[in-house]
């Protein structure tokens, strides 16, 4: 085990995947930046490693044939990656921000997610798209959204949203191994977060949630960094004698109905916390399934705590108000929590 940052865990996963399988290759803007630029090459031929430096070191190790710098044309290189995947390679393109999905959506929606179905399962499209998401760093409205819910509506597409370095490494390797297209969401506010990560190659099952903390009175289901918001709320509720079970969903599509429903039936009270906007999102989907499948076990309505129905503000004070936090969980979940306090 080694303590790694989230960023290092992603880099390590890609390194191991490329070492193990020659068909794995990377594409993206500035992922091998500096190569061939005279004044940079003398100092460091791997000047950038992508916009956040996640891929630093992989260019010199594997060469420009497998770490491919692309033009600023998301539609162009994403379409190329789909073609590579359909013809025997396992490309891992980097979409700099998930806000840019509109520029390359046809390659995913019209091609990657349809080919296997259209060819009766005979075609494979093992493409893993890495992309940064999340508010909290004043990156403004066009670079701060969380759009895993939008993509989660597309049949045939795995959507993974890890919260810890350990899960980031294991889930990314699972995505790369999978023969179906996958979107791998990396919250940019978590890149510097640290955790213990096994040194060897391992995978975590796609579609399997994790019960992070067990409890008896209340279930909080989380996505991505909302895990840490829920843990903060759970600590406060513990002082009031309320036992909280926390589930890290880890995969948005397919999401783990079995684990969530088992917890809902046990506690009878559920809050789903999601950084996404509130309409037609993952949180409301989870709430509807719980209400349908576990209604007789519930002691109150399934509540959702989400971002407001606006783009992400640039101003730090407004951005802080935009994001769900522990106080919002306790305030907006008062209908369930106050009942527990009285008991």
For β-strands 251-253 and 158-160, DSSP reports them as: antiparallel
Helix (H) or strand (E) holding 167: helix 165-177
Measured CA to CA, the distance from residue 326 to residue 211 in angstroms comes to 19
Name the active-site residue from 133, 143, 166, 279.
Answer: 143
Residues 250, 302: contact at Cβ < 8 Å? no
| Alpha-carbon torsion, ordered 82, 124, 14, 40, to 10 deg | -20
Measured CA to CA, the distance from residue 271 to residue 200 in angstroms comes to 36
Residues 298, 291: contact at Cβ < 8 Å? yes
SS3 of 2-46: the string is EEEEHHHHHHHHHHHHHHHCCCEEEEECCCCCCCCCHHHHCCCCC
> For this structure, is 279 an active site residue?
no
Active site residues: 143
């Amino acid at each position: 085990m080694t303590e790694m940052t989230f960023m290092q865990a992603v880099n390590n996963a890609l390194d191991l995947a490329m070492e193990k399988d020659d068909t794995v290759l990377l594409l993206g803007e500035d992922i091998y930046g500096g190569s061939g630029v005279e004044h940079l090459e003398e100092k460091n031929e791997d000047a950038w490693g992508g916009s956040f430096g996640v891929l630093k070191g992989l260019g010199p190790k594997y060469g420009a044939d497998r770490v491919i710098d692309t033009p600023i044309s998301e539609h162009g290189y994403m379409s190329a990656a789909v073609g590579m995947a359909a013809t025997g390679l396992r490309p891992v393109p980097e979409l700099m921000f998930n806000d840019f999905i509109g520029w390359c959506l046809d390659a995913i929606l019209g091609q990657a997610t349809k080919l296997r179905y259209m060819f009766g399962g005979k075609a494979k499209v093992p493409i893993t798209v890495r992309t940064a998401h999340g508010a909290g760093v004043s990156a403004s409205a066009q670079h701060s959204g969380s759009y895993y819910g939008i993509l989660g509506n597309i049949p045939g597409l795995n959507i993974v949203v890890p919260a810890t370095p350990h899960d980031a490494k294991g889930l990314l390797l699972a995505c790369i191994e999978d023969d179906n297209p996958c979107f791998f969401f990396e919250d940019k506010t978590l890149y510097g977060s640290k955790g213990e990560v096994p040194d060897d190659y391992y995978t975590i099952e796609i579609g399997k949630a994790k019960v992070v903390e067990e409890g008896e009175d209340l279930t909080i289901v989380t996505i991505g960094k909302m895990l840490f918001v829920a843990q903060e709320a759970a600590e406060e509720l513990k002082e009031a004698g309320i036992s909280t079970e926390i589930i890290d969903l880890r995969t948005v599509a397919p999401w783990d109905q079995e684990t969530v429903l088992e917890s809902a039936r046990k506690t009878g009270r559920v809050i789903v916390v999601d950084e996404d906007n509130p309409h037609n999102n993952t949180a409301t989907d989870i709430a509807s399934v719980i209400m349908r499948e576990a209604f007789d076990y519930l002691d109150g309505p399934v509540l959702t705590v989400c971002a407001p129905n606006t783009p992400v503000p640039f101003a730090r004070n407004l951005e802080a108000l935009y994001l769900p936090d522990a106080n919002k969980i306790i305030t907006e979940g008062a209908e369930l929590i106050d009942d527990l306090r009285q008991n």
